């Protein structure tokens, strides 16, 4: 990850300076823009390894900038949002953001999110075995183990875990999970069952299902499969 190029698109000069100083100290190469249009242009020119995108831009909606970049780009995009903007978080994640962080934020949390996003983008898409902490998923065999012991999952539980594991560290919205597991035609009907199946899955993969540390809830947004630091 050392030397990875990060593009910051944010109109607040103090935040850009804070991010630049911190990220450069960790060995990243930093580019920055203060408007959506300049950010989109810069992204197309330098092809960064990761983008930090503020949703409150002066010249255009940050969500529109996200959509335009995602039309051609596959690099991780981490969006900055205000704490109360729950709808904005969900929309951003449903339209291509890899993760979000709310203002004000701690640099430790931001660095952790960046490391996860870069690790995820570097993972080979055809990797048949996913190892995340104590969990091992063999995608070819549809086989799951926890601490070396086989875990028996129903087809829906397996598909939920696969969706979370293949995007480990990232928030997956309720809608994204419903589409991947139940399909576009069954979103409304399946919505009532998502929390129930997540509960069943936690009982099988968590050490303490009542206080989950593996499959965590992002209130009002979705779920995240936590990866070890």
Per-residue pLDDT of the chain (229 residues; tens, 9 = 90+): 568 999 999 999 999 999 999 999 999 999 999 999 999 999 999 999 999 999 989 999 999 999 999 988 889 999 998 867 788 888 889 888 999 998 888 899 899 899 888 887 765 545 678 888 888 998 878 899 999 999 999 999 999 999 998 888 888 998 888 888 887 666 666 667 888 999 999 999 998 999 998 999 998 899 999 876 5
Do residues 165 and 105 both lie within one domain? Answer: no
Q: Do 33 and 135 reside in the same domain of the chain? A: no
Token pair, residue 197, equals: 């199946």
Q: Are residues 9 and 117 in the same domain?
A: yes
Q: In angstroms, rounded to a whole number, what is the distance separating the alpha carbons of residues 158 and 42? A: 40
Are 23 and 111 members of one domain? yes
Same-domain status, 139 and 66: no
Q: How many domains does the chain have?
A: 2
* Tokens coding 102: 């709310």
- Does residue 10 contact residue 34 with C-beta atoms inside 8 Å? yes
Tokens of 5: 């190029």
- Are 15 and 114 members of one domain? yes
Q: Of 122, 138, 169, which residue sits at a domain end? A: 122
**Is the same domain home to 71 and 146?**
no
Query: Do 66 and 149 fall within a single domain?
Result: no
Is there a single domain that holds both residue 135 and residue 111? no
Same domain? 133 vs 118 = no
Range(s) of the domain holding residue 23: 5-122
The verdict on pTM exceeding 0.75 is no
Residues 93 and 180 placed together within one structural domain of the fold: no
Pick the last residue of a domain from 98, 122, 146: 122
Say if residue 148 is in the same domain as residue 114.
Answer: no
């Amino acid at each position: 990850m050392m030397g990875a190029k990060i593009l910051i698109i944010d109109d607040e000069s103090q935040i850009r300076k804070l991010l630049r100083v911190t990220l450069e100290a960790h060995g990243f190469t930093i580019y920055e823009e203060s408007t959506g249009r300049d950010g989109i242009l810069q992204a197309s020119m330098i092809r960064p390894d990761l983008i930090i995108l503020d949703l409150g831009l002066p010249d255009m909606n940050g969500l529109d900038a996200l959509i335009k970049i995602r039309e051609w780009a596959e690099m991780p995009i981490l969006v900055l949002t205000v704490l109360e903007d729950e709808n904005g978080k969900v929309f951003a994640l449903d339209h291509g953001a890899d993760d979000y962080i709310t203002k004000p934020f701690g640099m430790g949390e931001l660095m952790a999110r960046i490391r996860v996003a870069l690790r995820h983008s570097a993972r080979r898409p055809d990797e048949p075995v996913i190892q995340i902490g104590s969990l091992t998923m063999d995608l070819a065999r549809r086989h799951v183990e926890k601490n070396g012991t086989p875990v028996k999952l129903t087809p829906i539980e397996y598909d939920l875990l696969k969706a979370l594991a293949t995007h480990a560290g990232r928030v997956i919205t309720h809608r994204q999970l419903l589409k991947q597991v139940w399909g576009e035609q069954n979103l409304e009907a399946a919505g009532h069952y998502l929390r129930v199946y997540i509960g069943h899955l936690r009982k099988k993969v968590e050490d303490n299902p009542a206080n989950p540390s593996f499959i965590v809830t992002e209130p009002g947004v979705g779920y995240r499969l936590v990866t070890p630091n």
